[in-house]
């Protein structure tokens, strides 16, 4: 036994000589870390975070436009590779959206990613000496304006299910608040952003893409901020506030109706315009114009001509439970790198018309309506000067003026006026949804925290 112990000792000592090997942490060879920007960020790093905010801020677009567009039957989102886009989104099978509803996750997740990214930017701007106070206000004003816009998206999708507003700490998110409270909070964020922009001097210390051309100064972005606030105000039925916000916005009936900020697109490494399809393309996935848009149109409406392209062969959907067909596809995008506006002069004119009508300023309202009708080439408004008639008219004009825009206006508009039953489902035998359910991750999280 003694021999054995001796040998074990030799063996053990020799082995110890191997143990001096120290392993150093290997840093991420592929990406910078978040820690590199939250403290002492350079101006260059702040710029990359700002560009990150702008890039994230378009992430919601394609799903939101296609899903909400389908909910409001502005389009059908044909996707022959996966029948669920038609079957589930038109409510042929699931009649009430559930927590794991098919392929709508990014309507919720993507805006919150943008909000988080903007919060990281705010934190980075607060914790660096690389910029002065005025520059800091510029960054804050930008971040909060974008945040305000992004909050609107889940708020409208979930409607009375409510959303979370306080999301600064990812491990401790604040409670769900009602739709009304959410809108109130969004207005507050926009107001704060607007106030920050007022203190931000005359030029931005950072670059935005061409999507903000004409709005890439504190004053210019302030006008976008006020336009978004006006949109929120009409959701709140705060008509006076809407008109006040419009005064400081870029509303101008004499300018192009398309005036407004955009999400920009391009070839790789950028992202292609997700709504672009080659005209007459024989493809299996495309947003098809809902046939009711054509049958309900006033003859000669230039918007029909400008937005709907009549195909040589119809778009056909044979998947799902009911066969569907549409002769028209979206014509708005010239190329796969065309920018997509997210709030336009034309919408602001219609917001004005609506707020004026609600405040019984019939002539002001009709003036705005006629600006839109004149552009569309369908003659002046001849209907009654009553709230009901004017709202019907405004909703009709919004249907064509704001067709298939990223915010899914038609569905939201009809819901605002309790007219969801006007959504045509006779062709697809589907269901009209009122709102999306809170996502599963939220149920699970609350469940988890309560334990």
Partner 1 sequence: MRKRVYLAILLSGLAGLPMSLVAQSGSPITGKIIAKSDGQPLAGATITSKSGKSVIKADKDGNYTINAQSGDFLIIKNVGYLSREIPLTGNGFQLIELEADITKLDEVVVTGLASGVKRSNLANAVTSLNAKDITGTVPPQTVDNTLFGKLPGANVRINSGAPGGGVSIQLRGISTLQGASQPLYIIDGVYLNNNTLQTGRSAVSGAGATNQDDAANRIADLNPEDIENIEILKGSSASAIYGTRANAGVIIITTKKGKAGRTKISFEQDAGFATIQRYMGSAPWDEQKINTYFPESRRQIELERLKSAQGKTYDFEKIFFGETPLLLASKLSLSGGNERTQFFVSGALNKEDGIMKNTGFDRRSIRANIDHKLNDRVSFSLNSNYLNSNTDRGFTGNQNNTGASIGYNIAYLPNYYNPFPDEQGNYPDSPYSLAQNPLAVRDKGINNVKINRVIEAASLKVKLFENSNSSLDFAAQGGIDFLSSNSLIYLPEDLQYQRNQANPGDVIIGRENNFNGNFQAFLVHKLNSGGFSFHTQVGSVYLTTERNLLFNRGRGLIAGQKNLTQAAVQSVYQHYDEKVKDYGVVAQHELNYKDIVIGTVGVRFDKSTLNGDANKFYVFPKASLATNLAKLPGWQSETVSQLKLRGAYGQTGGLASFGATYTALSPTVIGGLVGSQLSSVAGNRAIKPERAGELELGADIGFFNNRLLLEATWYNKNVSDLIQDLNLAGASGISTKKVNAADLRNRGVELALSGTPVQQENIRWSSRVLFWSNRTKITRLDVPSYLSGSYGATFGTYLYKEGYSPTTIVGNPQISPGVYTVWGDSQPDFQSSWFNDITLYKNFSLSFLLHWKKGGDVLNITLYNTDNGGTTKDWNEDYNNDGVPNGKDRPGKGTAGVYVQNADFVRLREAGLSYTIPKAYLKQVTKGKIENIRLGVSANNLFTFTKYKGYDPEASNFGTTAINTGTDLFQYPSSKRILFQLKVDF
Residues 200-239 that bind partner 1 (CB under 8 A): 207, 209-211
Distance CA 278, CA 292 (A): 23
Coil, strand or helix: which one is 191? helix
Q: Shortest distance, CB of residue 333 to partner 1, whole angstroms? A: 10
Stretch that binds partner 1, among 20-28, 239-247, 302-310, 370-378 (CB under 8 A): 20-28
Distance CA 343, CA 212 (A): 12
Integer CA distances (angstroms), 24 to 21, 27, 401, in order: 10, 9, 61
Nearer to partner 1, 31 or 418 (CB): 31
Binder of partner 1 out of 306, 318, 417, 419 (CB under 8 A):
318
136 closest CA partner among 59, 204, 220: 204
264 counts as binding partner 1 under rule CB under 8 A: yes
- Close Cβ partners of 218 (under 8 Å, ≥ 6 residues apart): 137, 138, 141, 197, 198, 200, 201, 202, 203, 204
Distance CA 422, CA 436 (A): 19
Coil, strand or helix: which one is 253? coil
Q: Shortest distance, CB of residue 407 to partner 1, whole angstroms? A: 19
Nearer to partner 1, 301 or 327 (CB): 327
Residues 114-173, interacting with partner 1 (CB under 8 A): 114-117, 119-120, 154, 163-164, 167, 170-171, 173
Q: Beta 340-341 vs 262-263: how paired, if at all?
A: antiparallel
88 counts as binding partner 1 under rule CB under 8 A: yes
With contacts defined by CB under 8 A, how many residues of the chain interact with partner 1? 118
Q: What angle is formed at CA 208 by the lines to CA 52 and CA 69, rounded to 5 degrees? A: 70
379 counts as binding partner 1 under rule CB under 8 A: no
Say which DSSP state 97 is in: -
Residues 95-114, interacting with partner 1 (CB under 8 A): 98-100, 102, 105, 108-109, 112-114
Binder of partner 1 out of 70, 79, 358, 368 (CB under 8 A):
79
35 counts as binding partner 1 under rule CB under 8 A: yes
Nearer to partner 1, 51 or 244 (CB): 51
Nearer to partner 1, 171 or 418 (CB): 171
417 counts as binding partner 1 under rule CB under 8 A: no
List residues bridging with 78 in a β-sheet: 286
Distance CA 421, CA 246 (A): 31
């Amino acid at each position: 036994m003694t021999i054995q112990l001796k040998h074990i000792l030799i063996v053990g000592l020799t082995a110890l000589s191997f143990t001096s090997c120290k392993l150093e942490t290997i840093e991420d060879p592929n990406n910078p870390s978040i820690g590199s920007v939250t403290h002492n960020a350079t101006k260059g790093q702040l710029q990359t975070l700002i560009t990150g905010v702008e890039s994230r801020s378009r992430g919601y677009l394609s799903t939101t436009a296609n899903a909400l567009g389908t909910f409001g039957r502005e389009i059908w989102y044909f996707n022959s590779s996966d029948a669920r886009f038609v079957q589930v989104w038109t409510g042929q099978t699931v009649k009430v959206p559930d927590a794991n509803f098919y392929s709508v996750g990014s309507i919720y997740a993507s805006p919150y990613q943008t909000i988080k990214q903007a919060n990281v930017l705010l934190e980075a701007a607060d914790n660096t000496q690389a910029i002065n106070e005025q520059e800091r206000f510029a960054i804050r004003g930008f971040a909060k304006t974008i945040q305000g816009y992004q909050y609107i998206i889940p708020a409208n999708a979930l409607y009375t299910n409510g959303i979370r507003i306080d999301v600064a700490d990812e491990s401790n998110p604040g409670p769900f608040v009602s739709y009304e409270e959410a809108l109130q909070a969004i207005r507050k964020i926009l107001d704060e952003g607007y106030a920050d922009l007022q203190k931000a001097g005359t030029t931005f210390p950072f670059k935005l893409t061409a999507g903000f051309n004409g709005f890439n100064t504190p004053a210019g972005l302030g006008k976008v901020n006020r336009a978004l606030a006006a949109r929120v105000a009409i959701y709140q039925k705060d008509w006076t506030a809407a008109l006040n916000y419009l005064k400081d916005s870029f509303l101008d009936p004499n300018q192009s109706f398309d005036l407004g900020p955009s999400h920009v697109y391009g070839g790789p490494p950028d992202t292609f315009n997700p709504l672009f399809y080659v005209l007459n393309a024989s493809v299996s996935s495309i947003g098809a114009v809902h046939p009711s848009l054509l049958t309900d149109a006033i003859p000669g409406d230039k918007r029909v001509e400008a937005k709907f392209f009549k195909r040589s062969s119809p778009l056909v959907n044979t998947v799902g439970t009911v066969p569907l067909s549409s002769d028209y596809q979206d014509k708005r995008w010239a190329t796969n790198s065309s920018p997509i506006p997210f709030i336009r002069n034309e919408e602001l004119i219609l917001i004005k018309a609506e707020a004026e009508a609600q405040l019984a300023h019939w002539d002001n309202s009709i003036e705005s309506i006629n600006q839109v009708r004149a552009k569309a080439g369908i003659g002046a408004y001849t209907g009654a000067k009553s709230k009901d008639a004017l709202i019907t008219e405004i909703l009709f004009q919004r249907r064509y003026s704001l067709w298939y825009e990223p915010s899914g206006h038609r569905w939201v508009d009809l819901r605002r006026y309790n007219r969801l039953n006007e959504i045509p489902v006779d062709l697809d035998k589907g269901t009209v949804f009122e709102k999306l359910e809170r996502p599963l991750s939220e149920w699970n999280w609350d469940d988890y925290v309560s334990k």
